[in-house]
Chain A
């Protein structure tokens, strides 16, 4: 079974621009969660989507948004990029929504904001 895929793997953007990251979950998985990983803050939860609905949201500004499509693929958008948005963005899929399910992480998208 193919794993979680994320595109692009690397991205360099300029302050003020916007960016869209994509995540394709494992086939049959309906929940997709997004995380931001930085050396200083660790793994921080952004949001979770299940059946095209946002189920949970972390403590991030409204510049961070996402959506999920009917095939469970998910996109994350960050508008008006700031230097502090430089991070590894990880998506994780799980069979269904809820904290009791194993999460399968993708390889991540490394975003650098200059």
Chain B
């Protein structure tokens, strides 16, 4: 089945530093979604990307979809303690009707 590789698995940053998580697929993706899960919580939808080379911003968060639609990234500028959590990408490709989730990147922000 389709696999979406997400790196890094863990990231510790000092508050104010930037953070990036990456998702990669060997197949061309139809779309990719990003979710955030706070400790003890449930995944919450952040954004969806569907177009090649698409870039979307939400305040300090920047989401990119690669030109070949095989990779995506989430970049957080000047992290805050409220950014703590696990960030997941979720994607589908071809005729697949369901999303496949990446393994997630657990972000810790040190005050």
Interface size of B in residues (CB-CB distance below 8 Å): 24
B78 lies within 8 A of chain A by Cβ: no
Cα A108 to Cα B88 with chains together (Å): 17
What number of A-B contacts does a CB cutoff of 8 Å give? 59
> Main SS of the interface on chain B?
loop
Interface size of A in residues (CB-CB distance below 8 Å): 24
Q: A45-B100, A98-B97 are in contact. List 17 more A-B contacts (CB 8 A).
A: A33-B98, A42-B102, A43-B88, A45-B99, A48-B97, A55-B97, A59-B1, A90-B42, A90-B43, A99-B92, A99-B98, A99-B99, A100-B30, A100-B92, A105-B35, A106-B42, A108-B42
> Main SS of the interface on chain A?
strand
In contact, B43 and A48 (Cβ under 8 angstroms) = no
